[in-house]
Amino acid sequence: MRYSEIVKTYEEMEKNSSKIAKTQILAELLKKTPDEEMEMVTLLIQGVVFPKYTGYDLGIAQQLMLKAISKATGIGIDKVEKIFKESGDLGIVAEQCIKERKQVSLFKKELDVETVFKNLQKLAFIAGEGAQDKKLSLISELLSFAKPEEAKYLVRTILGDLRVGVAEGIIRDAIVEAFLTKEDATALEYAMNIYPNLGEIALLAKQKGLKGLKEIKVKLGQPIQVMLGEKAESIKEVVEKFGKVAAEYKYDGMRAQIHKDDEKIWIFTRRLEDVTKQFPDLVELCRKHLKPKKCIVEGEVIAVRDSSPLPFQVLSQRIQRKYDIEKMVKEIPIQINLFDIVLYEDEMLFDKTLLERRKILEKSIEVKPNKFMLAKQIVTDDISVLEIFYKEALDAKQEGIFLKVLDAKYIFGRHVGGWYKIKPTLETLDLAIVGATWGTGKRAGWLGSFILACRDEKTGKFLECGMLGTGVKEKKTSENDVTFEELTKLLKPLIIFEKGNSVRFKPKIVVSVDYQEIQMSPNYESGFALRFPRFVALRYDKGAEEVDTIERIKYLYELQKKTKK
């Protein structure tokens, strides 16, 4: 298939804001996609060339892309940078420069999907001496063969900022439209949770239809979507609705999905990122203390020192670490507290109740005190006992508790019922950083005054709700500290627009913040502003799609008004 076919689809979807129209446009593309290219096309439509769970990153920064556009077109870097400052979109820069290019390849050939896809994948594996030059050559070569509109989307794909408004839900609906019936949508949703690779799912739907989707099974080493809890306002509310419940500590750590296939162990975060290499100590614990030959278990990993839990911020240093792993293992020991099992040998357990799964989990592990544990749990409908358990969890420096319905099955995703979080009312908010300003004076070269955004769950749009500066450190004085320099390094590759000293980012970095109060404000698109927000932690374990919603902020604002009366 020609790459121009996908580009035509990009253009049509970018022009249409209607979800229905986007779905129909994409369905037409999928119908004419050859089987052998289905996974490539489905990934490219998402603006990626690897499924999220692989953890591969193309690692191309803004400056390298500017050089690649200059090299491919023969247009001076100064002029390329000037066009970028005017447009704020490197895709548009590439499109404009290709139109004006001063040099044309003697052996110009038409780009096809396979060539684009495989060359973009190569970028993730170029490392070592001369890596930047090799990446520069590969990108500029692709651009030299591209038509102007192809160059625009090539650059956007490489930078991870496609801008055509295609969420996972639209791709799901397009697969239904192309290969299934509306009645099959539930089976498709189930399959997507088992196989977090829409390309495989699309091909399965095309080749085997509903029957194939229903027969799908988990694949060890490939993560599944996890079940998430809902926020409840009180213990009493949950007990009155469900009666006897299982209460468990809500640990201040990293959700870990652990796959075991004999001696082979994989560890994934709740965002389906592979962190196996970062936790060799946990791998060894799983080999020694998980009894089944094959299983998938879930637990919460916390950092500990002298048997005392440490804040998540300490553990987060290990989640992102790619080097000096053994040093980090010694400096930041961990403990895991297991709370669920969804695969036992070859049996999937999603349809079993919470109580049944807990019994299977208990017989599946050999407890090692303070290292490899079962999550602390009590089962009761006595509210006073649950209140004491809740206080105990907070005193133990954990986030709160989960109340889990005893006959609840394992249901993927959030807002599904079954698990309810009880946390302090004045809780922190998890928000995305979407903008900042460049510092001056002693903060020159660092980003500061970070703009925070919540999310509109209906539209997927990010809405500004405050500006953060407090809590980020100029110098690191403890292992919990995060500095302006560290945040700047994380955010610079995500820049999508820069004007004067103001910068806008692709919403990817999530931070936990606390605040004095929430106020109504016409200055922010959300209509609300956090008063005196303070940085608490970087949330490496959360994606932008998991930040707190505008509905949550509205709720907390109303709750705050009541408590003031």
Known catalytic residues are 250
> What's the residue count for the chain?
565
The DSSP call for residue 545 is G
- Measure Cα distances from 565 to 153, 372, 443, 520, 529 in Å: 54, 47, 42, 17, 21
CA angle 549, 231, 390 (to 5 degrees): 140
CA distance 21 to 234: 43
**CB of 403 closer than 8 Å to CB of 232:** yes
Q: How many other C-beta atoms are found inside a 10 Å radius of the C-beta of residue 476? A: 12
Cα(315)–Cα(310) distance, integer angstroms: 8
Q: Using alpha carbons, select from 237, 223, 231, 312 the residue that is nearest to residue 268.
A: 223
Kindly tell me the burial class for residue 560, based on how many C-beta atoms sit within 10 Å of its own C-beta (0-12, 13-18, 19 or more): middle
The torsion angles phi and psi of 516, rounded to 5 degrees, stand at -80, -45
**Residue-by-residue DSSP string for 329-370:** HHHS-EEEEEEEEEEETTEE-TTS-HHHHHHHHHHHB--BTT
What does the alpha-carbon distance between residue 375 and residue 355 come to, in Å, rounded to a whole number?
14
H or E stretch covering 315: helix 312-319
Cβ atoms within 10 Å, residue 102? 9
* DSSP state for residue 452 in the 8-state scheme: E
131 CA to centre of own chain: 27
88 neighbors 26 (Cβ within 8 angstroms): no
d(CA 19, CA 429): 30
Name the pairing type of β-strands 230-231 and 419-422. Answer: parallel
